Every structure is written in C-alpha cells, then in structure tokens.
Chains A and B, each alone.
Chain A
Amino acid sequence: MSTTAVGQTSAGQFRTIRGQAPVPFSRLLQVEIRKQVDTRSGRALLVVIAALTALILIPGVVVGRADDVTFRSLIGLASSPQLMLLPVIGILAATSEWSQRTGLVTFALEPRRHLVILAKLAGALLVGIASFLVAIGFAAVAQVAATIFRDSPGDWAIVWSALGQTFLALVIMIAQGVGFGILLQNSAVAIVTFFVLPTLFSIVTSVVSFLSSTAAWYDLSVATSPLLSGDINGEGWAKLAVASLIWVVAPLGAGLVRVLRREVK
C-alpha cells in the first residue's frame, strides 16, 4: 500500500483548500463528451447513425435521374438520419445520470450542477456537429461515386446559408433532446416522449382547424421545416423562435430547476 494513496503529500502535509482551484468548465466538457462515447451503447448509437447515413445515400446515388444528383441534395438526404437520431445522444447524456445512477458520483465531484448540465448540452452539440460533419463527408463520397458511375453533372455547389440552417436545426433538435432528458430523467420515458409527443401534438393541431392555422408558431416540426429546405424568412424566424421557446428552452429551463432541486440518490 503506497502512502500517496491516503491523501498526503511527501511533506506529510495535507493540501489546503485554498490551494485548490474549482474544476474548470473545459474539464467538465471533456468528461461529458467522453461519457457519451465510452459505453458500448453510446458508441453503438453513433455507429448506427453513421451506417444509416451511408445506407440512405445509396438510393440517392443509384435511383432517379443522374442529372438530379447534386452535393446539396445528397447532404439533404444524409442529414435526415442525423436529425432524427442525434437527439437521442443528448437524451442519454442527460438521463444516464439517473437511469444508471452515476449522478451520485458526478454531482459529488462537481456540486455546481448547472455547470454539469451546461457541459452535457455543449458536449452533445459538439458530438452532434462532429457526426454531421462525417455525414457531409459521406455525402461527398456519394457525390464522387455518382459522377464516376452515373455520369452525373458533378454539381458541388454548396449554399452556405442552407447548410447553416441545417446545422441550426440539428442544434435545436439536440438541445431539445437534452432538455427532455434533464426534465424527465429516465432514458426510456424521455426517448418515447421525445418522439411521440411532438407527433401527437402535430396530429392534434392538424385535426383541430383553429389550431392548424397557427401550428407553425408552436409546432416545432412545422417551424423547423423551412430551415431544412433552407428558405426561412422573417416570419419563419419568429415562428421558429416561439416554437423553440416552447419545445427547447422551456424543457431545458424546467429540467435545470429540477436537477438543481432534486435529491441525488
């Protein structure tokens, strides 16, 4: 048994509390990113997302008129599994602290819980953006394949504003996932709610006529659709802001309050 294990320096004096700096945010961020990929389930999810992205690009290259295959259309195709599944990374990043009870350690090592949550949010966004960059890489490979094997025109034009809007949609969806995760604090419940609640909501709003006319203001899937087609306008931004407030900011805020108040056990 080494003496260093019992918390003394070689001089035999304990470190003073004054000598310790608080845990910097950069370390929390590093840890939260690592936690998203250091379990088999976390890695498997990222692999599945990448595999689905690759798969969905195949018909994009093979089916349809060769003239219609452009880098932009392939990026659009590749983004759909990303937008659909990356929020789950955000959900699991949040819920595992309760579902797997790791919060006992996490919140003991960093009692400033709001910083942990912020690191989770930032970490999930960074992992999501990295995954989407990989998807763009896949789209580039598909584009090359299309020009070689199908003699497509090789239109590499990127509409940067449209790409930026897709990234924004991704950020909104992942943040929504984290919000649902910290609010519900249970993996299964949060995932099901994340996928079912907005759909149920859309069904209700489309059936009830006075709701359907204003749905774009509070239905996030309606509000984000102009982002994905890359042609959002002034009113579209306003609708997006309101819908995001309801579906992203509110769960994040309520979830944060719940995390700060709830007993960790």
Chain B
Amino acid sequence: MITVENLTKRYGGFTAVDDVSFTAQPGRVTGFLGPNGAGKSTAMRAICGLTPATSGTTRVLGRPYRELPNPGRHVGILLDAAAQHAGRTGREVLVLGALTMGVPLVKVEQTLDLVGLTPQEARRRIKNYSLGMRQRLGIGLALLGEPEVLILDEPVNGLDPAGIRWMRQLLRGFADEGGTVLLSSHLLLEMEAISDDLVVIGHGKIVAAGPQESLLAAPGSQVSSLDDETLHKALVRAGYSATANPGGGLDTSAEPKSVGILALEAGVALTALSANRGHGLESLFFELTADHGRDEVAA
C-alpha cells in the first residue's frame, strides 16, 4: 500500500509535482502514466524518501519511507537502471544489496536466475550491459529483499518484446499474491497491458485516476446490423448520436447494452456490436504529450 497526499515539489519557481494525491492498493498494479517530464520520477523519489517534498505526505505500508526499518525488505525499488557503478559486476551489485538487507547470499543466485541473467553475464561489468540487462539487474535488486511493495520507474524501457512480456507476468504474479506495484511509464499501450489502476499525470498534476477499465472505456459502441438505417433512427430518437460508417455499420455514443435494447425494440437483427475502447484516455494522453511537444515513441 502506497499513500500519497497532496504531494508538492517545487524547484525554485518550477513546480515539478503539484498537489498530487493517490493510493496504490495491495493486490493491484498501479500504473503511473504521463509524458516525459510530467513529474513521475520526482514523485517516486519523494515516495522513497530521496527527494524532500515541499509539502504533502507520502506513506508506504502506513509509514513515511524513511521510518521503515531495513526498507529493502519491505519495498523493492528501481528508480534508474543506469544508476549503477560502471566498474562493478552485476552479481556484485546484488551481493552488496543482499549484504545491506541481510538477505542470505544464496538469494543472489536465485535472483539472477529469476531475472534471466546468466552466470557469465552476471560476472561482466555493468558498463558492458545493454539497457535491457541493466533493467533486469535493477528488477533483481528490487526483488532481492522479498518486498511486498514494488516501486519501478520506467522498468520496461530497453526491454525486448520477450522481456516486456516477462515483466508483465512477473508484476501480475506479484500483485496476484497480494503485493502492491507502482510502476511508471510514458507508454500508454504498455500501461494498458500491465496495470489495474491508472494515475495519469501531466505538468505535475493528476489529470485522471481510477481503475483502468473505467478510464479507458469511453461510452459508445460500434454496431452493424441487417438494417442500419432503422437502427440509426432508433438511436437518434433515444437521444444518442450515431454516424454511419462508409463501409457499413454505425458509430454511436450509446453503450452496447442500450444499443441492444434499442435494436430489440426496433426489431433489427445485429450482426456485430462492440464497445469503444481507449478513446477517452488516449485523446487525453495525446493532448498531454502534444503540450510537451513530445510524441509517444514505441519501445
């Protein structure tokens, strides 16, 4: 469980995080979504006690992070996979973590195995690692203390498609066993695939938050029938908008359930009916990215 209340961080006149409040629940994956520079990383560092907040409070497992005893055993953190000593081996990074947290060293080998770093790779210095390997190592370090909360900043950056799928399954499994996951991304589609709840941030402010289904599902549906013309009239009569697609079928603001009821009343047989997905959040998100002049780039 992570609780953020009215978190604000100012740098001089610039407000990086502006009165942000949200909760990441146990058993759920919470996606922290926003374009680059929106304040995600600053907020995450503040949660981890690394960035002092200008005002507001953050709690992890009911306490300010800095009051957690041996925090690595409660909270697994990956804030920047590149932030490792280039001259250290991957294995050594995990050994240092294990020594600090008091985790038996046998856990190091298990973790390397879990994140898919071979013994040969683990013996190499980090300066020779690809970003994907650094991410795997960083995930390993986060999991090493067997925490119940994970805080991961852009963990899928640099992962190949197989790695992204592996990460999804890992986080899903972690949440399904009751763990709390907060991860950030600037990739809407990635977040859609991983998270249960979404917190969307832009210019330091939360612009949308809630369960993913409710945020992504814009009211409306696409429908085809044996008599589109009759259905069109029925929809408009009921107060919904409806437009005919050139290739047949209708786009309407009515939800599938309402369309079904209206079609039944009008005696029109439907041939296809589906809910609109993603339009609301997608357009919101692209507005945010457009403001920043940065378009979403697929990983």
Contact = CB atoms under 8 A, between A and B. Distances in A.
A96 to B, nearest CB: 6
B251 interface: no
B173 A1 contact: yes
A17 interface: yes
B80 A104 contact: yes
A265 interface: yes
B143 A6 contact: yes
A38 B179 CA distance: 33
A41 to B, nearest CB: 6
Given A105-B97, A109-B97, A110-B100, A5 B92 contact: no
Interface string B115-157: 0000000000100000000000000010101111000000000
A31 B96 contact: yes
B232 to A, nearest CB: 51
A4 interface: yes
A111 B83 contact: no
B169 A263 contact: no
Nearest to A116: B100
A5 B83 contact: no
B66 interface: yes
Q: Which of A31, A34, A96 neighbours the largest number of chain B CB atoms within 10 Å of its CB? A: A31
A261 to B, nearest CB: 8
Interface in B78-130: 79-80, 82-88, 92-93, 95-97, 99-102, 110-111, 114, 125
Interface string A233-265: 000000000000000000000000000010111
A7 B72 contact: no
Contacts of A65: none
B183 interface: no
B284 interface: no
B45 interface: yes
Interface string B13-55: 0000000000000000000000000000100010011111000
B177 A6 contact: yes
A207 interface: no
A42 B85 CA distance: 11
Interface in A82-115: 96, 100-105, 107-112
A153 B37 CA distance: 73
Contact of A8 (B69, B97, B177): B177
Given A1-B114, A104-B79, A15 B73 contact: yes
Interface stretch (A18-26, A49-57, A71-79, A171-179): A18-26
B45 A30 contact: no
Contacts of A210: none
B16 to A, nearest CB: 11
B179 A6 contact: yes
A108 B97 contact: no
Contacts of A23: 69-70, 100-102
Given A4-B110, A96-B85, A107-B49, 18 more contacts: A5-B110, A6-B177, A7-B147, A7-B174, A17-B62, A17-B63, A22-B69, A23-B101, A31-B96, A34-B96, A101-B80, A102-B85, A105-B77, A108-B49, A108-B79, A111-B71, A261-B52, A265-B51
26 contacts: A1-B173, A3-B173, A6-B143, A6-B177, A7-B147, A8-B148, A8-B178, A15-B148, A17-B74, A21-B69, A23-B69, A23-B101, A27-B99, A35-B96, A39-B85, A96-B85, A100-B86, A102-B84, A104-B79, A105-B83, A107-B49, A108-B79, A110-B71, A110-B100, A263-B50, A263-B51
Interface of B: 41, 45, 48-52, 61-63, 65-66, 68-74, 76-77, 79-80, 82-88, 92-93, 95-97, 99-102, 110-111, 114, 125, 141, 143, 145-148, 169-170, 173-174, 177-179
Interface of A: 1-8, 12, 14-15, 17, 20-23, 27-28, 30-31, 34-35, 38-42, 96, 100-105, 107-112, 261, 263-265
